[in-house]
Structure 1
Amino acid sequence: MGNKKKRTIFRISLLLIMLLAISYTLYQNFFTEKMRVQAGEKAPDFLLEDMQGNKVQLSDLNGKGVFLNFWGTWCKPCEKEMPYMERQYKHYKDLGVETLAINIGESEVAIEAFANKYGLTFPILKDKDSAVTETYDITPIPTTFLIDKNGTIVKVITGSMTERDIANYMELIKP
């Protein structure tokens, strides 16, 4: 077989692979329904490990309001709001509001360095395989879910928050 024929077969094969990839992407975007967890729904339960190795299950917090934040160490808005979350956590933790910060798939070293830098004391959970992130359909971060004492999502916030916002949200889910 000549070089010209081999090149033609190779190019056609590449073109077919690209067409299949594009078709699959279009199918996924337009014909499969991805259900984002929304306000008014029961928060999907999960079991994750915190930085000290303790298991934390969302359903164990029934009776408390839960400020559930998805974040990453590389995320500038996350970095900005973490000190606000820490101050409000200290104020609201004895008032029945738990703060849980779920880190999305980063190393323990990176998470620990970040937590130490900002003096974070609220529970930081590790979503190593991003299973919880996928369940909650997190696309932009930070994303925060306000969960009431009955485990129902009251509000979903995407993007950064001011300290006043965080205080108001914690007040909203305080039992």
Structure 2
Amino acid sequence: MNKKKRRLLIRTIILIVLASAVIYTLYANFTKGERGTLEKGDQAPDFVLTDMNGDTHRLSDYKGEGVFLNFWGTWCKPCEKEMPYMENQSQKFKDQGVNVIAVNVGESDFQINKFIEEHQLTFPVVVDKEKDVQNAYGIKPLPTTFLINPEGEITKIITGSMSEKDIEQFMESIKP
């Protein structure tokens, strides 16, 4: 291949990459309104997701109870660190009207089941394979947790890792 053809090929590739970046940026900005920008006081968007046992969980079915809604991934170290704390507090608060729902960000069933088994999780772990719920809630960093009161309102949004004491206080705050 001579120098002119190689230069043309390289320039074409660079142009395609730049055009793709511009198109993506425009798309992201124009669809920003469709993605969640939820705040404290907003009604939590309803959803239906299936857990690893094949049971469906609809957020609106938990009306009258507090929901600790956690978005996570198996590869996320802060997520892994807080899971045992969530399990402990889930056991403590489950008879007090506070439910934990852990929404995995669409990983394989094998990875999720291995993680559940390894950490002996008993609360519902649902999977958002189509990322519809993540988009509705505007999930960016993991972990992200939404505290939802018995009326279905978001009372707090937490991004990043939590201590067991934090989780205990948050669950106490959404108790009916």
Report the TM-score, using the length of structure 2 for normalisation: 0.89
Where in structure 1 are there 5+ consecutive unaligned residues? none
User: CA separation of 1:64/1:133 partners in 2, compared to 1, >3 Å: closer, same or farther?
Assistant: same
**Structure 2 partner of 1:149:** 150
SS of residue matched to 1:150: coil
The alignment covers a number of residue pairs equal to: 174
The reply to whether residue 10 of structure 1 matches residue 9 of structure 2 is yes
What residue number does 1:20 align with? 19
Structure 2 counterpart SS, 1:154: strand
Structure 1 residues 18-37: Cα deviation after superposition (integer angstroms, max 9, x where no partner) = 33123224435666635422
| More displaced 10-residue stretch of structure 1: 161-170 or 109-118 | 109-118
Three-state SS of the structure 1 residue aligned to 2:100 is strand
Instruction: Provide the residue aligned with 1:45 in structure 2.
Output: 46
**In 1, distance between residues paired with 2:134 and 2:51?**
15
Aligned 1:26-175 pairs, distance under 5 A: 26-28=25-27, 33-34=32-33, 35-175=36-176
| CA–CA distance in structure 1, aligned partners of residues 121 and 6 of structure 2 | 59
Residue range with higher mean Cα deviation, 106-115 or 62-71: 106-115
Identity %: 51
Q: Secondary structure at the match of 1:15?
A: helix
Return closer, same or farther for 1:96/1:103 CA change in 2, 3 Å cut-off. same
Task: State the AA in 2 paired with 1:94.
Answer: D
Corresponding letter in the other structure for 1:14: I
Code of the residue aligned with 2:9 in structure 1: it is: F
Q: What is the root-mean-square deviation in Å for CA atoms of aligned residues?
A: 1.9
CA displacement at 1:9 relative to structure 2: 3.8
Q: Which runs of 4+ in 1 moved over 4 A?
A: 2-5, 28-32
Per-residue deviation at 1:76? 1.0
Query: 2:30, 2:105 → 1: CA distance?
Result: 27
* TM-score (structure 1 length as normaliser): 0.90
How far is the alpha carbon of 1:40 from its aligned partner?
A: 1.1
- Pick which of 16-25 and 108-117 moved more: 16-25
Residues 114-167 of structure 1 show CA distances to partners (whole Å, capped at 9, x for unaligned) of: 111111111111112222112212111110000011111000000010110001
Paired residue type of 2:22: S
Which amino acid in the other structure matches residue 21 of structure 2?
I
Task: Note the residue ranges of structure 2 that are not aligned, 5 or more in a row.
Answer: none
